[in-house]
């Protein structure tokens, strides 16, 4: 049984003090959580405050939104996996479509980052997903296959269990137009079958595949009920602690 993983990707929002008040509200709202794993992924500047404020909260992990693939060196403005690990960060988003589109990240860069994260003991959340144009031209599977195969090049089977894949169709991100549960499940099933070709069925079966793109309290439960959807990566709706908590409750309801 794959434990569902619900992650809040705050993107470039909230200062460290806003993050602290967010966490206070969120924790008092959510109470105890047993059956799902929760990750909050703030900007770098809020990581230390959130890590120390959530030390005693067993169900909550803190993640990062990006990293450089080198351990250190002359890379002005960058942060390495080792530095994140030293802050007790557990997860790192790699290859988000905003990084691919706005910052020129290629599949090769994504692959370097994935391997560097694994080497440092961080769990990559590898983002894949097609654009609207690619969907309209019937290229969804081809795009997903390429992003997975290149993103996971030279990753060995024993490391696969450390990786979370996030399926985020670009046309659903920040648009209010989520993929339907059926559309999302189709892509998730494809991703699992491709992972199975690459790493074998047993390893592929253990990988958690999150859905991301306009997830909100209203659509979370139906999405989470799909066989191959093992959680969500939530942008806009995670910026309000109460709405993030409601999404988690819907995910828990989907387990019943």
- CA triplet 197, 143, 159: central angle to 5 degrees? 45
Closer to ligand 13P at the Cβ: 168 or 221?
168
Stretch that binds ligand 13P, among 83-91, 108-116, 195-203, 229-237 (CB under 6 A): 229-237
Which of 50, 126, 233, 248 binds ligand 13P (CB under 6 A)? It is 233
Q: How far is the CB of 5 from ligand 13P (least distance, A)?
A: 13
Q: Which of 196, 135, 206, 202 is nearest to 164 (CA)?
A: 206
Catalytic residue among 37, 105, 130, 168: 168
Residues in CB range of 25: below 8 A, 6 or more apart: 241, 242
3-state secondary structure of 43: coil
CB of 216 to ligand 13P, least distance (A): 8
Catalytically annotated residue among 68, 96, 98, 105: 96
Verify binding: residue 234, ligand 13P, rule CB under 6 A.
yes
Q: Give catalytic status of residue 96 as yes or no.
A: yes
Distance CA 174, CA 244 (A): 15
Cβ count near 175 (within 10 Å) = 13
Opening angle at CA 148, ends 8 and 134, nearest 5: 85
User: Is 9 a binder of ligand 13P (CB under 6 A)?
Assistant: yes
* The only residue of 55, 75, 174, 177 in contact with ligand 13P, by rule CB under 6 A: 174
Task: Determine, following the binding rule CB under 6 A, whether residue 168 of this chain makes contact with ligand 13P.
Answer: yes
Query: Active site includes 78?
Result: no
Closest residue to ligand 13P, judged by C-beta, is: 235
- Residues 94-113, interacting with ligand 13P (CB under 6 A): 96
Tell me if residue 65 falls in helix, strand or coil. coil
Does residue 236 interact with ligand 13P by CB under 6 A?
A: yes
Residue from 128, 173, 207, 220 in contact with ligand 13P (CB under 6 A): 173
222 Cβ neighbours under 8 A, 6+ residues apart: 181, 254
CA proximity to 168, closest of 159, 177, 158: 177
Cβ contact 80:112 at 8 Å = no
Question: Which residue is it, tokens 């703030």?
Answer: 42
Q: Please identify, among the stretches 55-63, 109-117, 167-175, 187-195, the one whose residues bind ligand 13P according to the rule CB under 6 A.
A: 167-175
- According to the binding rule CB under 6 A, does residue 220 interact with ligand 13P? no
Q: Which is nearer to ligand 13P, 9 or 66 (CB)?
A: 9
- Write out the two tokens for 127: 């983002």
Residues involved in catalysis: 96, 168
The footprint of ligand 13P (CB under 6 A) covers 9, 96, 168, 173-174, 212-215, 233-237
């Amino acid at each position: 049984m794959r434990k569902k993983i619900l992650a809040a990707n705050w993107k470039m929002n909230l200062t460290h003090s806003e993050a602290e008040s967010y966490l206070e509200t969120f924790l008092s709202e959510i109470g105890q959580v047993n059956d799902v794993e929760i990750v909050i992924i703030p900007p770098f500047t809020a990581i230390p405050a959130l890590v120390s404020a959530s030390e005693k909260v067993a169900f909550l992990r803190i993640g990062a939104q990006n990293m450089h693939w080198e351990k250190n060196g002359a890379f002005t403005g960058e942060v390495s996996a080792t530095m994140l690990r030293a802050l007790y960060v557990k997860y790192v988003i790699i290859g988000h479509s905003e990084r691919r589109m706005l910052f020129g990240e290629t599949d090769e860069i994504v692959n370097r980052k994935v391997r560097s994260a694994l080497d440092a003991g961080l769990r990559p959340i590898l983002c894949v997903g097609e654009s609207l144009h690619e969907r309209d031209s019937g290229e969804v599977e081809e795009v997903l296959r390429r992003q997975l195969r290149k993103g996971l090049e030279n990753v060995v089977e024993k490391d696969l269990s450390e990786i979370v894949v996030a399926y985020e169709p670009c046309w659903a991100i920040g648009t209010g137009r989520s993929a339907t549960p059926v559309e999302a499940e189709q892509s998730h099933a494809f991703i699992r079958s491709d992972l199975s070709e690459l790493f074998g069925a047993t390893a592929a079966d253990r990988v958690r595949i999150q859905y991301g793109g306009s997830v909100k309290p209203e659509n979370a439960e139906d999405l989470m009920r799909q066989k191959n959807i093992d959680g969500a990566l939530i942008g806009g709706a995670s910026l309000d602690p109460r709405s993030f908590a409601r999404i988690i409750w819907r995910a828990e309801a989907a387990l019943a």
